[in-house]
Structure 1
Amino acid sequence: MLMRRKLLSAARRFAAGIDVSAREVRLVIASRKRRGAHPVRVEWIGAAPLPAGAMSGVHIVERALVTEALASLCARWPRQLPMRGMPFSMAVPGDAASISLSAMTATRSRSDRKAASSCEIGEGEPFLFDLAGQLCGHDAGEARAGASHPLLQSRVEAAAAAHIALASVECEPLAALRALVHTGEHTRTAVQRYGAIWAGYGGVFGWRIADRLVEAAIRFPGGEHPDLDAALRLLAGGEGLHAALVGGDVALLERIGLTLADIGERLGCSAAPFECAPFGCRPGALTDLEGWKHGAAYAVAFGLALREVTQ
Structure 2
Amino acid sequence: MSLLNPLLLNARRFGAGVDVSARGITLVVLSERLFGGGPLRIEWLAHAPLARETLAGTEIADRAALAATLRELFGALPRACTQATLRCAMALPTGATLLASVPLARLVPEAGAAAWKKDVSGLYTELEPLVLAEAERVAGIERHELAVDWHVGPFGAIGSAGSSGSSGSSGSGAAALREARVTIAATARSHLEARIECAAMAGITLCALDDEAHAALRAMRHAAAFELPPHETWAALWIGAAGIHGWLVADECVSRTMRFPALEYADLVEALRDLASDAQVGCTLVSGDLSMLLGVQFSLADIGDVLGSPVLPFECAPLADADHPLDVSLLHDPSCVVAFGLALRGVSE
- TM score, norm. by length of structure 1: 0.81
Structure 1 equivalent of residue 348 of structure 2: 310
Amino acid paired to 1:239: A
Number of the residue aligned with 1:283: 322
Deviation at 1:284, TM superposition (A): 6.5
> Match of 2:91, SS?
strand
Distance 2:231 2:252 in 1: 11
- Tell me the equivalent position of 1:3: none
After TM superposition, the structure 1 stretch with the greater mean CA deviation from structure 2, 264-273 or 8-17, is 8-17
1:250 to 2:293 alignment: no
- Give the Å deviation of 1:190: 4.6
Which residue of the other structure, out of 238, 252, 256, is the alignment partner of 1:216?
256
Deviation at 1:288, TM superposition (A): 3.7
Per-residue CA deviation, residues 192-233 of structure 1 (Å, 9 max, x unaligned), is 110000011111100000111001000112463222211111
* 1:288/1:34 CA distance change after superposition, 3 Å: same
Q: Please say which of residues 82-91 and 26-35 is displaced more in the overlay.
A: 82-91
Q: Which amino acid aligns with 2:279?
A: E
Q: Is the 8 A contact 1:245 1:271 kept in 2?
A: yes
- Alpha-carbon offset, residue 97 of structure 1: 4.0
In the alignment, is the contact (CA less than 8 A) between 1:191 and 1:243 conserved in 2? no
Match of 1:151 among 172, 182, 191: 191
Contact 2:43 2:81 in 1 (8 A): no
Show the counterpart of 2:148: 142
Contact 1:191 1:242 in 2 (8 A): no
The correspondence for 1:189, drawn from 206, 229, 232, is 229
CA contact (8 A) 1:98 1:171 kept: no
Q: Give the match's secondary structure for 1:180.
A: helix
SS in 2 for 1:241: coil
Quote the residue 2:91 is aligned against.
91
Distance in 2 between residues matched to 1:26 and 1:257, nearest whole Å: 27
Identity rate of aligned residues, in percent?
Answer: 35
| Matched-pair contact (CA < 8 Å) for 1:17–1:88 | yes
Q: Provide the secondary structure at the position in 2 that maps to 1:265.
A: helix
Correspondence for 2:277: 237
Distance (whole Å) between structure 2 residues aligned to residue 228 and residue 108 of structure 1: 29
Q: Distance in 2 between matches of 1:206 and 1:86?
A: 31
Report how far residue 191 of structure 1 moved. Answer: 6.0
Moved over 6 A (4+): 137-141
Counterpart CA distance in 1 for 2:253 and 2:297 is: 30
Aligned residue among 242, 246, 250 for 1:206? 246
Superposition TM-score, scaled by structure 2 size: 0.72
**Which residue matches 2:80?**
80
Could you say which residue in structure 2 is the equivalent of 1:127?
Answer: none
State the superposition RMSD in angstroms: 3.0
Q: How many residues align?
A: 282
Instruction: Return the alpha-carbon distance in structure 2 between the equivalents of residues 254 and 109 of structure 1.
Output: 41
Using the TM superposition, give the Cα deviation of residue 85 of structure 1 relative to its aligned residue in structure 2, in angstroms: 2.7
Shift of 1:28: 0.4
In structure 2, the residue matched to 1:297 is 335
Cα distance, 1:197–1:80 mapped onto 2, change above 3 Å: same
Instruction: Give the structure with higher Rg (CA).
Output: 2
Distance (whole Å) between structure 2 residues aligned to residue 59 and residue 84 of structure 1? 31
Kindly indicate whether the alpha-carbon contact (under 8 Å) linking 1:9 and 1:81 is maintained by their aligned counterparts in 2.
no
The CA distance in 2 between the partners of 1:180 and 1:154, in whole Å, is 28
Instruction: Report the CA distance between 1:30 and its aligned residue.
Output: 0.3
- 1:11-32 CA distance string (max 9 Å, x none): 1100100000112001000011
Listed one character per residue, the Cα deviations across residues 15-60 of structure 1 (whole Å, up to 9, x for unaligned) are: 1000001120010000111124422221111110001211122221
Does the 8 Å CA contact 1:195/1:241 hold for their aligned counterparts?
A: yes
Could you tell me which amino acid in structure 1 is paired with residue 336 of structure 2? Answer: Y
Distance 1:60 1:165 in 2: 18
CA distance in 1, matches of 2:48, 2:9: 26
